[in-house]
Amino acid sequence: MFIKSIDINNFKGYHGNHSINFNIPDGATEGSGLNIFVGENNSGKSTVFEALEFIKDSTKKDPATLLNKSDPAIILNDLSIEVTYTGNLTGVINAHVQENKINSFLRNIYQEGASECFKVKRSWSKDDPEEIKKVKFWNDVDQDYTNPNGIDAPFKKLYDNNFIWADTNPSDESKFGASTICGALLKEIALGHTSTQEYQNFQNSYHSIFNNPTSDLRQKISQIEGMVQSVFSSQFGNANISFSFDELQIESFFKTANVIIDDGVSVPMNEKGHGMQRAVALSLLQVYADITANSANAAVSKPFYFFIDEPEICLHPMGQKKLLDALLTLSKIKQVFVTTHSPFMLSSPKIKNCELFIFKKDNNKNLISIANTSPMFPWSPSWGEISYKAYNLPTVDLHNELYGHLQEKSGQYNLSNFDQWLNGQGITNSKQWTPETNGVPKQPRPATLQTFIRNHIHHPENATMQAHRYTEAELKQSIDEMISLL
């Protein structure tokens, strides 16, 4: 089961409705399930994470603080999040929903082409503030949302989210709960182990101690049972009181585990610095990626989504590249969502199969676009292109790419001939370039701004022109003029 799309309406920085369609793993292609969010701070990247957390678990925050306030002239009264899921929904629901609620889920599955889909909504309004507690299921036949009785708790248990936030303690990832990396990692290892003789022997020993009437511990427990029953009967009436010890699930034992780090001083992970903690958390993620990459149980395992906020924090460049490799492997079968500013991750050609979303803010309103919308190059998206679209940052990388690409399109590889071609496109020779040979200046020649900047980039050794640099504004102007010619 995967998250197909989300509709965000009046939630935090998102004024009105905003729809996002996510990358879904295809089981074979690296990056097929990786969704990367890029953009300036406060442009709404992490808000998408919060919205996906909100649909599943509601929120402990005051809902009024989540209401969009980007336009002071407009007072909004409601917000909502809608999420559509797809994949092997029938299999997941049958495997992970309590029996008496399965039909409530299954009857709301609908088809989109050959795919099963399932859509839910969580809302809040000033007129009905209690509405936020209810998750509503879309009925495609009735074309309406309903909240089946008792459905909220089973929906929360249907899948797990794992968040590694940029501003929270990464030692949380060293815990072994059901929705943490450590917990998921050991659970994957333990799958199938309950059928081994080793585990059966352990269970037999457990029952012989806790549930065998002749065991020493059970006899002591029986004394307590008798005392409680005696007090109860004397005050409330006759009844049998006893303690029952059910068979423990194997993952229950992992909750008492700890991660110990010994770098000369052996202490629990939460006593190390945040840089060390975050590195260990991301290392655990990479191991999880290796172990689950070819999991035979992926089709019916409990859905588990990864959300990583700025993984480059406290991680050196080579570590960032290796982390990207792990995420690409993991994303063949798992859905991964990442916010990042890292040039070491975003400049990798390996992200071509990922979905790259550009987040911007305009008049206090968040806007989302896809990086491959109006691509500049056959090899898009490039780091220079991403930087320009996401941050309005003109770079020499993008200038070089545009200049070379236009030379190829025009067939003019000689600089003078290329300048003449640019002149024919309406770009004038507004600069003078003085070439040098062995440090000796030659006759100045007219040049377009594009060739002037290209020559500075390619000939930093030219001492004559070092006193005549281009400005940041000119770099942007040159890039904009070349983009207009694409």
Confidence tier at 288 by pLDDT (50, 70, 90): low
226-270 pLDDT tens trace: 898 888 888 888 888 888 887 777 666 666 677 788 888 887 777
Q: Distance (Å, rounded) from C-alpha 371 to C-alpha 386?
A: 7
Say if residue 353 is in the same domain as residue 402: no
The angle at the Cα of 332, spanning 22 to 8, to the nearest 5 degrees, equals 15
Residues 6+ apart with CB under 8 A from 409: none
7 near 14, Cβ under 8 Å? no
Q: Distance (Å, rounded) from C-alpha 334 to C-alpha 87?
A: 12
In a domain, 260, yes or no: no
Say if residue 290 is in the same domain as residue 319: yes
The residue that leads in pLDDT, 437 or 186, is 437
What pairs with residue 327 in β-bridges? Answer: none
**pLDDT over 60 (residue 434):** yes
Say if residue 39 is in the same domain as residue 157: yes
**pLDDT over 50 (residue 297):** no
Domain hosting residue 24, numbered range: 2-176+276-378
Say if residue 370 is in the same domain as residue 401: no
Say if residue 242 is in the same domain as residue 132: no
CATH number for the domain spanning 12: value is: 3.40.50.300
Name the DSSP letter for residue 121: E
Q: Comparing 95-99, 232-236, 289-293, 441-445, which segment has the lowest mean pLDDT?
A: 289-293
Q: Distance (Å, rounded) from C-alpha 228 to C-alpha 298?
A: 47
- Tell me which of 378, 405, 433 is where a domain ends: 378
16-37 pLDDT tens trace: 999 999 999 999 999 999 999 9
214-225 pLDDT tens trace: 999 989 999 998
Average pLDDT over the chain reads 87
Question: 377, exposed or middle or buried, with CB in 10 Å at 0-12, 13-18, 19+?
Answer: middle
176 near 183, Cβ under 8 Å? yes
Say if residue 14 is in the same domain as residue 132: yes
- Tell me which of 253, 268, 293 is where a domain ends: 253
Say if residue 58 is in the same domain as residue 163: yes
Say if residue 168 is in the same domain as residue 208: no
Residues 6+ apart with CB under 8 A from 32: 23, 24, 25, 26, 331, 332, 353
In a domain, 384, yes or no: no
Percent of the chain clearing pLDDT 90 (strictly above) = 55
Helix (H) or strand (E) holding 458: helix 449-458
In a domain, 13, yes or no: yes
In a domain, 268, yes or no: no
**Owner of token pair 């995420």:** 327
In a domain, 262, yes or no: no
Say if residue 89 is in the same domain as residue 172: yes
Mean pLDDT, residues 80-106: 94
Number of domains the chain is built from: 3
Residue 160 confidence (pLDDT): 83
In a domain, 431, yes or no: yes
In a domain, 58, yes or no: yes
122 near 132, Cβ under 8 Å? yes
pTM reported for the whole predicted model: 0.79
Say if residue 205 is in the same domain as residue 56: no
Q: Comparing 2-6, 243-247, 318-322, which segment has the lowest mean pLDDT?
A: 243-247
In a domain, 79, yes or no: yes
Say if residue 365 is in the same domain as residue 317: yes
- Tell me which of 350, 378, 406 is where a domain ends: 378
Say if residue 403 is in the same domain as residue 478: yes
Q: Distance (Å, rounded) from C-alpha 100 to C-alpha 123?
A: 26
